[in-house]
Structure 1
Amino acid sequence: MQLVEPRPSRPIPIRITPLIDVVFILLVFFMLTTRLLPVDYLELANNTSNRSPITGEPLPELTVTANGKVQWQGQAMALDQLMTELGNAGITEVNLATTGDTPLGAFTRVLSSLVDQGIDSHWKRTNATTP
């Protein structure tokens, strides 16, 4: 015995009008609450006025060796001597490289000393040599 009559098998139409109303209300809300800044006042942090990759001398290259000394201009120097030489030469930016067997501690000491002296350093990664 069936108590409820079955529903007729016709598709139920989806009314789009309320959906469109909601979308327009959201659009108006976001348009009213959004604050647009003028393009003239955008602040960009792009300070490239004092540096040009095309012209100028190449950066000096320092190579940290396994014994903790640093090679610069064909000479192996202790870290204190190197900092004095770089300061006297007025160098503010260098490329820093390591040999394949340089310990991490030696690299870190040299990098920390360069940062303390205010010298920007760029690390040139080299692959370890296998015997």
Structure 2
Amino acid sequence: MQLVEPRPSRPMPIRMTPLIDVVFILLVFFMLTSRLLPVGHLELANATPDRQAADGQPLPELTVLNDGRIRWQNRTLASEALVAELVRAGITEVNVGTRPETGLGHFTQTLGQLDAAAIQSHWKRDSGTTP
């Protein structure tokens, strides 16, 4: 006595309707949960407050300008010259600010040069009110 019917010899067709429904639901989910931002901008959620070094002195404030130069202590320098000057001064930690029009390439290049010189950097968004 056989309790289970044998499987038919021909292959069972795959029904596409449930698969299409699942794909459509996933498409709607990802469309609703994603944001479309300009490719040239990077938004970081790293609001670094004004930090102070261990000895109580405020950290140097660097501002990356839209042409790639960096403003520090009321002077504007190229990034290579500024990093060399920071290393000579023995500075190992800085706050890096950006202007609203600063490009992502200049910002990441500055962070890379600071990191290569073993200078720890903290990003601080500039409101654009400073010169």
Tell me the TM-score normalized by structure 1.
0.55
Q: Percent sequence identity over matched residues? A: 47
Give the AA of the match of 1:92.
T
Q: Cα distance, 1:84 vs. partner? A: 1.0
- Deviation at 1:54? 8.0
1:16-51 Cα shifts (integer Å, max 9, x gaps): xxxxxxxxxxxxxxxxxxxxxxxxxxxxxxxxxxxx
Report the aligned-residue RMSD. 2.0
Corresponding residue pairs, total: 78
**Alpha-carbon distance change, 59 to 101 in structure 1, aligned in 2, over 3 angstroms:** same
After superposition, residues 1-131 of structure 1 pair within 5 angstroms as 56-127=56-127
Scaled by the length of structure 2, the TM-score of the pair is 0.55
1:79, distance to aligned residue in structure 2 (A): 1.0
Cα deviations by residue, 1:98-117 (Å, 9 ceiling, x for unpaired): 01100000000000000110
Letter in 2 for 1:80: E
SS at structure 2 position matched to 1:88: helix
- Moved segments of 4+, more than 4 Å: 52-55
Q: In 2, Cα distance between the equivalents of 1:59 and 1:128?
A: 19
Quote the Cα distance in structure 2 between the aligned partners of 1:89 and 1:65. 22
**Any gaps of 5 or more consecutive residues in structure 2?**
1-51
In 2: Cα distance, 1:54 partner to 1:89 partner = 16
SS in 1 for 2:118: coil
Q: Residue 86 of structure 1 aligns to which amino acid in structure 2?
A: L
CA–CA separation in structure 2 for the residues paired with 1:108 and 1:88: 22
CA drift at 1:125: 1.6
